[in-house]
Structure 1
Amino acid sequence: MIGEPLWKSHEPRRPMLWIWLLGVIVGAGLVTLGAWLNAQFGFMAPRWQQPASVESAPPASIVRAFEAPAQHGDKMRIETDSKSTPSTVSAIRTADFLVKAVQRVAPAVVCVRGYEPAQWRLWKLRPDIPSGLASGVIFDGGHGYVVTNAHVLEDGSRWRVQLIDGREFRAEKVAEDKPTDLAVLRIIGPQKLPEAKFGRSADVPVGAWVIAIGNPYGRTHTVTVGVVSAKGRDLRDRTRFITDVIQTDAPINPGNSGGPLCNVEGEVIGINTAINLRGWGIGYAIASDLVKQVISRLVEHKRVERPWLGVEYTMISEDERRQLKLREEKGLIITSVQAGSSADRAGLRGGDIIVAINGELVRDLQHLRQAITNAGIGGRLTLRIFRRGRYRTVTVRIGTMPVEKVLRNEGWR
């Protein structure tokens, strides 16, 4: 309009100037932020698109080895190059300790096949019929002795064993002990066979790595791995009465029976015997300390006699201990005494509380059982008991457990 000031014609353009200035400022800020992020974290390109860095590969001198984890609490040792710089990416190469353990014991693990003898039918000789397949461990290579489970031999009358190298031999039954589900076979023919080393199951801690080797479903010399889940379990059914069983989560399947459970040194610390069908990851192996006792008696005497005290007992509860004003923290209360047993002849009664065994305070529920086993048949135990507010000492001579009681799975110790 004529006569109006000329500056009003520029008012509509003022907002555009501020928007332009704001854009310049924001753009500069984004450029600066991107440069900083790239310098700090390398966001400009993904890791898989960047060229390989020389420093990303560990120098050969950086890592010597990873010592195999020791079974008895030793710490792993890592040796590194003292000249390595902070900018060098360190790396640890873990040695596969399980491989060496398997290589030590696998040559002594055998596949056990049972057969029914050949029979004449309709004027034809029927060949041997396979009756079962399981596992075993050679424990005496000079004499060809193999330990396996007793239930493995139930359905057959002839047996053959196969080694990992493919060799196959006939075997004969030496003896068996059904209550512990252990049996001994003797390989007929060759001498100087590989043999496994048996370790002490008492030294294996709960949580330790273990290896099971066997022939599940006919898959010969299969290796599975787990840990010791528990120790000192009882395993009782219609034919077995095993008082020292290792529980493991190492996969054990049909065909693993009689095979070894090993520690990371390749020593046999158990013989696999059963699984819990109601759950997954619950397998059982007969502890090697018990296995060694049984197989030595089977080889020498063809039978096993068990030390027997003749009592049933349980751990006293904390409430009972306080009520009875028992000074000791732990005790085993006798719930019943078998008539005519060693305990009965020594004067032990139901309700007596055992607080010490051979001068040592009661440790746990397994203490008395282990003491009976260690004393053996004819050995003596000195028990300190608490009865009706008074302490007294009783000496007991260990007897022999009647076999019929074992087969009936009665709980007498």
Structure 2
Amino acid sequence: MNAQKKIVKPVLVVLIKAVLMISLVIFGVHWSNDQQHLVSLGNKSAQAEQGVIRPANISAVVKQTAPAVVKIETVIRTQVNMDPFFNDPFFRQFFGAQSLPRTQVQNGLGSGFIVSSDGYIITNNHVINGADQIQVTLTSDQKYPATVVGTDQELDLAVLKIDSKEKLPTLSFGSSEKIEVGDWVIAIGNPYGLDHTVTVGVISAKGRPLDIDQQHFRNLLQTDASINPGNSGGPLMNLNGEVVGVNTAVNAQAQGIGFAIPSSTVVSVYNQIISKGSVSHPYLGVTIAPLQNQPGVVVTGVVPNSPALAAGLKVGDLVTEFAGKEVTSPQELLDAVAETQPGQKITLVLQRTGQIQKKEIIMGDKSQ
């Protein structure tokens, strides 16, 4: 593994590019408008309730929660063309140069957890992205084919569904807002195919940004609980056995640095997929670049039919403030946009030909 930071299912890290597109992409695959499957966050602090932490607390949580953690195996089939006999010139004089179709099979492995007794499962989008076949295995070794209910590519989350005649064990959500740096957490998953491996650590930091595979994550939980390839999509839990994050990434060249999507984000994405089939993401519609020797960002492009175009933004504008927050770099504008809501009216401050101007912008919804 050569990447400094990588998604747990191996991918290469990309550097932050000078020109960034301020747009968040989301698409739904299939959905069911069923309000009874919506979930909510708990409001208890595991550390406050548990007091002094002892190993017995950990083992009890694992026994309670492990049955709801699943192994996810995927198959991706792609058609490739291969010349007969490896394109040997001797054989080509008999067979010609036409190519023979061949199917390449790629297998993937990840984790997930059940959130409803009738089979709704949460995992990472990168675990199942592009899969032709998805199989879920329970702790009982029962195997089920899974269908994709919906995905959020931007936030790397996916909802799956399996059909079981029996009621399935489930996990509930705890508050990622209330959990504190230093609190104990438990990760369960399938690293390297080792089913239901349990690791324990603490919350090392909160609100971490991370750039992986052309995706920008913000507000991640950092943990030193061991996370390895195959852990993707598995739960990170507090000592109440509540999910406070979804394990998604690891620093491959450093020990004890893993990242999880906070439960506040996971619950929001899951409920939107279940209720309406897509996830709303704020959308501005500009490309930008950093400025040399001064704070702010320069607009390098305006997307047609975008909120930015409707508000009158032009190439060459220097953006210095967005929604009341100073903008000194492309990253700050990205973060400020992500904190808004579709339909929200915000004020953008810019400089154009030496004049300061204010633009009123109604944020768009990238899913529409």
What TM-score comes out, normalization by structure 2 length?
0.63
Q: Distance in 1 between matches of 2:132 and 2:124?
A: 15
Count matched residues: 289
Q: Considering only CA atoms, is the larger Rg found in Structure 1 or Structure 2?
A: 1
| Structure 2 residue 65 is the aligned partner of structure 1 residue 105 | yes
CA distance in 2, matches of 1:312, 1:133: 35
Matching residue of 1:400: 365
Task: Tell me the CA shift for residue 106 of structure 1.
Answer: 2.0
Q: Distance in 2 between matches of 1:226 and 1:149?
A: 21
Match of 1:209 in 2: 184
Residues 78-119 of structure 1, C-alpha deviation per residue, up to 9 Å, x if partnerless? Answer: 9xxxxxxxxxxxxxx9573323433443221111123479xx
Matched, 1:261 2:221: no
CA RMSD across the alignment = 4.1
1:296: how far off?
A: 2.7
Read off the aligned partner of 2:244 and give its amino acid letter.
I
Look up the equivalent residue of 2:321 and give its one-letter code: I
Partner of residue 197, structure 2: 222
* Change over 3 Å in CA distance of 1:210–1:393 after alignment to 2: farther
Residues 311, 230 of structure 1: alpha-carbon distance in 2 compared, 3 angstrom cutoff:
farther
Q: 2:90 matched to 1:140?
A: no
**Maintained 8 Å contact 1:308/1:400:** yes
The one-letter amino acid of 1:259's match is G
Cα distance in 1 between the residues matched to 2:323 and 2:128: 43
Residues 100, 312 of structure 1: CA spacing in aligned structure 2 closer, same or farther, 3 A cutoff?
A: farther
Contact 1:310-1:337 at 8 Å conserved across structures: no
2:321 corresponds to 1:353? yes
Q: Deviations over 1:383-402 (max 9, x none)?
A: 6x597999987543111348
Name the one with the larger helix percent.
Answer: 1
Shift of 1:207: 2.6
Choose between structure 1 and 2: higher strand proportion. Answer: 2
Shift of 1:309: 3.0
The answer for the alignment partner of 1:236 in structure 2 is 211
Aligned equivalent of 2:20: none
Would you say 1:294 and 2:269 are equivalent positions? yes
How do 1:189-200 residues align onto structure 2 when only pairs under 5 Å count?
A: 189-200=164-175
Given the superposition, is the C-alpha separation of residues 191 and 240 from structure 1 closer, same or farther in structure 2, using an over 3 Å criterion?
farther
Question: What TM-score, normalized to structure 1?
Answer: 0.57
Match of 2:302 in 1: 339
- Equivalences for residues 91-130 of structure 1 within 5 A: 94=54, 96-115=56-75
Which residue is 1:51 aligned to?
A: none
Mapped contact 1:248–1:281 kept (Cα < 8 A): yes
Checking the alignment, whether the CA contact within 8 Å between 2:288 and 2:301 is kept in structure 1 is no
Q: Which runs of 5+ in 1 are unaligned?
A: 1-69, 79-92, 118-128, 321-331, 404-413
Deviation at 1:367, TM superposition (A): 9.0
| Cα displacement (A) at 1:283 | 1.3
Q: CA–CA distance in 2 between the matches of 1:191 and 1:76?
A: 33
1:181-207: per-residue Cα shift (whole Å, max 9, x none)? 222211122353122112232332233
**Cα distance, 1:228 vs structure 2:** 1.9
Contact 1:72–1:205 (CA under 8 A) maintained in structure 2: no
Q: For 1:44-59, what aligned pairs fall within 5 Å after superposition?
A: none
- Provide the rounded CA distance (Å) in 2 between the counterparts of 1:336 and 1:267: 43
Residue 273 of structure 2 aligns to a residue whose secondary structure is helix
- For the residues of structure 2 that align with 1:368 and 1:280, how far apart are their CA atoms? 32
Question: Percentage identity across aligned positions?
Answer: 38
